[in-house]
Amino acid sequence: MYEALKLLHVLAVVLFLGNITIGIFWKIHGDRTRDPRIIAHTMSGIIGSDRAFTVPGVILILIGGIGAAIVGRLPIMHTPWITWSIGLFTISGIAFMARLVPVQRQLLAVARAGVEGRMDWARYGKLSAEWKLWGTVALLTPLLAAVLMVVKPK
């Protein structure tokens, strides 16, 4: 059972980090076109992929990770690499839900307005800078948690 839960955890981490990473790629790719229709389509796709992959990835990471720790008799709050990883994962979740999701919705709204001929590039640029900041936090914190899970420092 431990191996199955650990495998679930690892696969969920791959899904989670992969989706975040590919979202960054598509945002950059869409922005380079300077075409509001493509940008709106890209942002809509990123929001949809977060619903389809990032959110379920979080749930599977928690089930697999906590389940493996319990079955493997690892004291969660007394195992530093687990405690730190949970903290980093929590920071990522806060950055994602409190900052990144609202900014993504605003970016989509600005791009959709641009499709109708009212593209506010200054606002879009400001929101994109905020998206980059919170997206970096949302990506690097779980990436560091993944490193801790593999290295398992004392």
What pLDDT, on a 0 to 100 scale, did the predictor assign at position 154?
78
What pLDDT, on a 0 to 100 scale, did the predictor assign at position 138?
94
In our burial notation (b when 16+ CB lie closer than 10 A, e otherwise), range 28-58 reads eebbeeebbebbbbbbeebbebbeebbeebb
Q: What is the pLDDT of residues 112-145, one digit of tens each?
A: 999 999 999 999 999 999 999 999 999 999 999 9
Q: Cβ distance 66 to 31 under 8 Å? A: no
Burial of 113 (0-12, 13-18, 19+ CB in 10 A): middle
| Mean pLDDT value across the chain | 96
Q: What is the pLDDT of residues 54-106, one digit of tens each?
A: 999 999 999 999 999 999 999 999 999 999 999 999 999 999 999 999 999 99
Cα(121)–Cα(34) distance, integer angstroms: 9
Cα(69)–Cα(44) distance, integer angstroms: 36
Both tokens of residue 119? 């593209």
**Cα angle at 9 between 152 and 139, to 5 degrees?**
75
Cα(40)–Cα(44) distance, integer angstroms: 6
